[in-house]
Amino acid sequence: MKKYLPLLLGIFVLYGFPIPASPRPAPLKIVTSIFPLREFAKEIAADRGEVSLLLPPGAGVHTWQPRASDILRLSSADLFIQVGAGLEPWIHDLLKSISSPRLRVLAVADSLPLDEHWDEEDRKKEPDPHVWLDFGLDMVIADLIAAKLTEIDPLSASFFQAGAARLKQKLQKLDAAYSQGLGRCASKSLVIGGHAAFGYLAKRYGLEQLSLSGLSPDAEPLPSRLMSAIAWGKEHKVRAVFTEANANPQMAGVLAKELRAEVLVLHPGGNLNKKEWESGRSFFDIMEENLVNLKRGLSCE
Ligand SMILES: [Zn+2]
């Protein structure tokens, strides 16, 4: 046997490792908590994955409550991808009720270099889970998803890598459009008439975010918060108040009226409503629409 070893090795080098004769296994069942992760997983897994979103249309990720059917859905999945960092407060109980040996879980925020993004002061507060609104972090998420899929289906390693590369190229293009579009603006003050979902985006492009609610949508912002937002907006000569798509625009309207500012929509992108689903909007469509409104609201050249 020993003397044939070089010959055998030679055959492997020439022809590669033997290819299994059986047809490709069924696509991996992947479930994601939020819409951007679904979009990323779809690009990376392509036809080797069957990706679905856990949140039903219109549900808010911070406040949603899973149903019994969601337990069944996750029990038959191969991979569940979530953000973590407190974005999905319902996740702990949901995963506790699932005893599927097959299900793997990827919480992307656990492996992101978030410390680099926040100074001492920020870290003392609660972590900001809206990581997908930093397109640089999204590029890291692409690699994390590809690596996890490769763990489950090692034979598809290069396929998943190619998918991640495709996704990262799109993200790079989007990031460049934002850098350029928000490079020269009369205002750097991003006033949000909703919750503080845009901190990563603001940080990446040198803006300052001020929001009426905190990191998760509170029932109603405090009057004191509204008063200080009015003062801040006046001081910074704010010309637009951004209201979140799919949230009540009332408070943004009140603030805008006080500031004699225009109300424009920004979409956090975490989930779509029914109409948006039906229109086939992609994550990139939404982010491009956001850029148009940001440029307008901040008076960018
Ligand atoms: Zn949020």
Query: What percentage of the chain reaches a pLDDT higher than 90?
Result: 80
pLDDT in tens, 276-295: 999 999 999 999 999 999 99
pLDDT in tens, 56-112: 999 999 999 999 999 999 999 999 999 999 999 999 999 999 999 999 999 999 999
pLDDT for the residue numbered 246: 83
**For residue 25, what pLDDT band results from cuts at 50, 70 and 90?**
confident
> What average pLDDT does the segment 193-206 reach?
95
**For residue 19, what pLDDT band results from cuts at 50, 70 and 90?**
low
How far, in Å, from the CA of 28 to the mean position of ligand 1? 29
Residues of the chain with CATH 3.40.50.1980: 28-178, 183-297
Residue 14 has pLDDT above 80, yes or no: no
How far, in Å, from the CA of 139 to the mean position of ligand 1? 20
How far, in Å, from the CA of 194 to the mean position of ligand 1? 9
pLDDT for the residue numbered 126: 80
Can you name the residues that pair with 262 across neighbouring β-strands? 240
Question: What residues pack around ion ligand 1 (CB closer than 5 A)?
Answer: 197
How far, in Å, from the CA of 271 to the mean position of ligand 1? 10
pLDDT for the residue numbered 111: 95
> What average pLDDT does the segment 264-271 reach?
97
For residues 245, 246, 250 and 256, what is the CA-based torsion angle, rounded to 10 degrees?
0
> What average pLDDT does the segment 15-29 reach?
70
Can you name the residues that pair with 167 across neighbouring β-strands? none
- Percentages helix, strand, coil for the chain (3-state, rounded to 5) are 50, 15, 35
How far, in Å, from the CA of 19 to the mean position of ligand 1? 46
How far, in Å, from the CA of 4 to the mean position of ligand 1? 62
> What average pLDDT does the segment 261-276 reach?
97
How far, in Å, from the CA of 36 to the mean position of ligand 1? 13
* Local structure of 124: helix, strand or coil: helix
How far, in Å, from the CA of 217 to the mean position of ligand 1? 7
pLDDT for the residue numbered 222: 81
Residue 35 has pLDDT above 70, yes or no: yes
pLDDT for the residue numbered 117: 75
pLDDT for the residue numbered 4: 58
Mean pLDDT of the residues in the chain = 91
pLDDT in tens, 211-255: 998 888 876 778 888 999 999 999 999 999 999 988 888 889 999
pLDDT for the residue numbered 221: 76
Model-level pTM?
A: 0.90
Cα–Cα distances (Å) from 88 to 55, 83, 271, in that order, read 11, 8, 13
> What average pLDDT does the segment 125-151 reach?
96
Q: Label residue 154 exposed, middle or buried (CB < 10 Å: 0-12, 13-18, 19+).
A: exposed
Does the domain at 28-178 match CATH 3.60.21.10? Answer given as no
pLDDT for the residue numbered 65: 95
**For residue 125, what pLDDT band results from cuts at 50, 70 and 90?**
confident
Class of domain 183-297: alpha beta
